[in-house]
Amino acid sequence: MSTHGPMPRSAWIFPALSVLLFAGATALGYSFAPSAAGLAFAAVLLVILFGTVFAAVHHAEVIAERIGEPYGTLLLTLAVTIIEVALIATIMLGEKAVTTLARDTVFAVVMIVCNGLVGICILAGGLRYREQDVQVTGSNLYLSVLVVLATITLIMPNYTLTTPGPVYSASQLGFVSTVTILLYGVFLYIQTVRHRNYFVSEAAGAVDDGTHRSNRMMWLSAGLLLVSLLAVVLLAKKFSQVVDVGAALIGAPPAFAGILVALLILLPESVAAVAAARKNDLQKSINLALGSSLATIGLTIPAVAVAAYALDKQLVLGLPAHDMVLLGLTFIVAMLTLGTGRTNILFGLVHLVVFAVFLFLVFVP
């Protein structure tokens, strides 16, 4: 959805359909079951849910454009985080508790973004322009923060001594959540205020098309954003039922649910990232891609940790050994790809190969 021009119909139709679907399913007391009617309900639910996520991101972008930085970035990040936390918490703390869902979702986001999305963007841009430039300093800042956050949340729980296994104690989880939010907050300050030039492509530059949003449009988007977020939160329970039954029917591994949640969250920004790469603005693609990973770890993990602590649920964060290897490989490849400031199709293909290995090992560990 474009943030310029008249509001697209889908920006208000999907939120309205979400509310109607939830109201109808609640009034009828419908519970998803594997049948012809159930499959039809699942298809409708997924289409409406994806459309509503797109609508929420669109309205957040409209408001962000109007209020400027750094508040625009914070609003967009907060909107996506609310959706992600709602989906994770609903599935993780539901009838069939999935204590590893937060870990699986965060890991899936990092792998999808840093390998799948980055690979597609570099490949698409390279096929069209042969080579593309990125800001080395900005990319290094992204990766340095991402490496630290991923290590303390996904690897360190395997090696602490206070509690056995891949979990943090309550005090450790509180400390890690605090420093995670602190580090992410400082990064946002650097990105949006102190060193904004590190994250802007010199080739693309700043473009002003003369379009300015009216206050009326901003307030309309604000109202529809609240409706969209509420609709996603309300439908999260129905989505969790579809995921549980669907995974059981096809014999999918537990990590499959995390991949579905990650894909749902990342789809709107992924479309925008690929479009930017095709317009020769790879820096914007990197900002959207790596920014999604940082927001997922920096905000989602602390929020889910609070929910798990309040409801006295265990939160498993430590990755298995083969996933830690893939995570380390991903960061090494990303540093090599973005470290020179110039990319080509081979870099994109390398990232896509790592992503293919990740997907394959989910189903054939």
- pLDDT value of residue 207: 43
Q: Is the backbone of residue 210 left (phi > 0), alpha (psi -120 to 50) or beta? A: left
How does pLDDT run across 300-359, given as a tens digit for each residue?
A: 889 888 888 887 778 899 999 999 999 999 999 999 999 888 999 999 999 999 999 999
How does pLDDT run across 136-165, given as a tens digit for each residue?
A: 998 899 999 999 999 999 999 999 999 887
Q: Which of 314, 6, 310, 9 is nearest to 157 (CA)?
A: 314
The pTM is what?
0.83
CA distance 78 to 328: 28
Q: Please name the residues in contact with 75: beta carbons below 8 A apart, sequence gap of 6 or more.
A: 60, 63, 64, 67
What are the strands, taking DSSP E only, across the chain? 132-133, 342-343
CA distance 242 to 127: 38
What are the strands, taking DSSP E only, across 131-289? 132-133
Q: Which of 147, 142, 141, 126 is nearest to 282 (CA)?
A: 126
CA distance 316 to 305: 10
How does pLDDT run across 84-95, given as a tens digit for each residue?
A: 777 777 776 665
**Domain map of the chain by residue range?**
10-363
Average the pLDDT over 286-294 and give the result.
Answer: 85
Check pLDDT > 90 for residue 117: yes
How does pLDDT run across 44-59, given as a tens digit for each residue?
A: 888 898 888 888 888 8
**Which overall architecture, per CATH, does domain 10-363 show?**
Up-down Bundle (1.20)
Mean pLDDT of the chain: 83
User: Hey, is 159 helix, strand or coil?
Assistant: coil
Look up residue 151 and give its DSSP letter: I
